[in-house]
Amino acid sequence: MSNAKTRIGIIGCGAAASFHMWGYMKDSRAQVVAVADVDEKKAKQFAKKNDIESYYANYDELLEQDQIEAVSVCTPPHTHAQIAIKAAEKGKHILCEKPMCTIVDEGKRMVETAQRTNVKLMVGFVTRFSAAFSRVKYLVKDGAIGTVSTVTATIYCDPPACEWYFDPQVVGIFLNCSCYGVDLARWFTESEIHEIYASGSAQDKARQQKYGPDYADNIKIVMRMKNGALVSSSTTFLMGIRNLYYEKIEVAGAHGILTADPIRDNTLILYSSKGSGISSPAEGFAYSKGWSWHSFTLANRFKADFETEIKHYVDCIRDNRPPLVSGEDGLAATEGCVAAMESFKTNRPVTMLERVK
């Protein structure tokens, strides 16, 4: 691979773009050379703040720049498909923020276009790059707890001041937040969803009146996977708290339990009926029989996760690797969220086979 820097364009200059920018600034192999936002003033301010040479109000102009090899798509979710498809047609690699899309057919077009044009399509499920959740995944793969039987995911967040975030006809809580739980279900169980059931309620009665009975801001989803594992995912908009995000994962298997609560502390808790048999860190990650506690770095919690995610994206581009979170993964998450919304509306379980039909 050439020593030349990988030249990046960022489309959308909101909060997600700031996290992506942090990751690119930490990677000496990459350089953000242009940004675009429909609000030209915001694009200009973002470019000035981060010493970026070019900014545009129209992302088509950014995509026309031959020097740009790859993009981060950080716009509202209902715009992702159109932008990503155009980027692929222009030969740009794509890191698309979650959810990858809001309409399943659009997601299929994204995947097909990326395959046809031979570009990378990676989806920004940053939870997969969390130091804690990555360690949980390693231990599951290593057999520390045996075959996974249940997964419990908890995600609480304060919503931004954007009405599209709340509107179930545009995005809403299922696609914006529950997509994390759906993706983690597939990742930890290494299985596809067979059946999904969702129940929810509305804390914000004014928005419920505004958006109708499909509005929810407090939901629980239960997924039965094809391999028999059960996964539950709880998501709540923290209406009265600003700048707070909370996530927790618990995974149980035939031979043990794993718990990671990275927002609260930097310790992963494991109970395993067997030990790893590893005596040296060079051999891998060691754990003992019975209860054990393992520390991981908690500093710059969110920024560190995005830094790891961006590094992986740049690795994929420069070394021609497949991304950890593929377009197919992003599509599967949207399919699961859409099925969950249908379950919530109809108050019944929905099988993914029904969705295929």
**CB half-sphere exposure, 306, CA atoms < 13 A:** 21
Say what the pLDDT of residue 17 is.
97
CA 27 to each of CA 23, 309, 314, 345: distance values in angstroms, whole numbers, following the listed order: 7, 11, 8, 44
Domains 6-127+306-324 and 128-299+334-356 equal at CATH topology level: no
Residue 19, SS3 per DSSP: helix
Question: Which string of DSSP letters, residue by residue, matches 151-194?
Answer: EEEEEEEPPPS-HHHH-TTT-HHIIIIIHHHHHHHHHHHTS-EE
Q: Do the Cβ atoms of 329 and 99 come closer than 8 Å?
A: no
Residue 293 has pLDDT above 60, yes or no: yes
Order of all β-strands in the sheet with 70-73:
54-56, 30-36, 6-11, 70-73, 93-97, 121-124
pLDDT digits (tens, 9 = 90+) for 148-193: 999 999 998 877 778 888 899 889 999 999 999 999 999 999 999 9
Say what the pLDDT of residue 288 is.
81
Element (H, E) at 18: helix 15-25
Residue 298 has pLDDT above 60, yes or no: no
Q: How far apart are CA 19 and CA 163, in angstroms?
A: 21
pLDDT band at 19 (very low <50, low <70, confident <90, very high): very high
Architecture of domain 6-127+306-324: 3-Layer(aba) Sandwich (3.40)
* pTM of the entire predicted model: 0.94
Q: How far apart are CA 347 and CA 280, in angstroms?
A: 52
Domain residue ranges in the chain: 6-127+306-324, 128-299+334-356
pLDDT band at 268 (very low <50, low <70, confident <90, very high): confident
pLDDT digits (tens, 9 = 90+) for 301-356: 678 899 999 999 999 999 999 999 999 999 999 999 999 999 999 999 999 986 55
Residue 300 has pLDDT above 80, yes or no: no
Could you tell me where the DSSP H helices lie in 67-155? 80-89, 104-117, 131-141
Residue 93, SS3 per DSSP: strand
Query: DSSP character for 126?
Result: G
Residue 223 has pLDDT above 60, yes or no: yes
Say what the pLDDT of residue 189 is.
97
Q: How far apart are CA 357 and CA 349, in angstroms?
A: 16
For the 128-299+334-356 domain, the top CATH level (class) is alpha beta
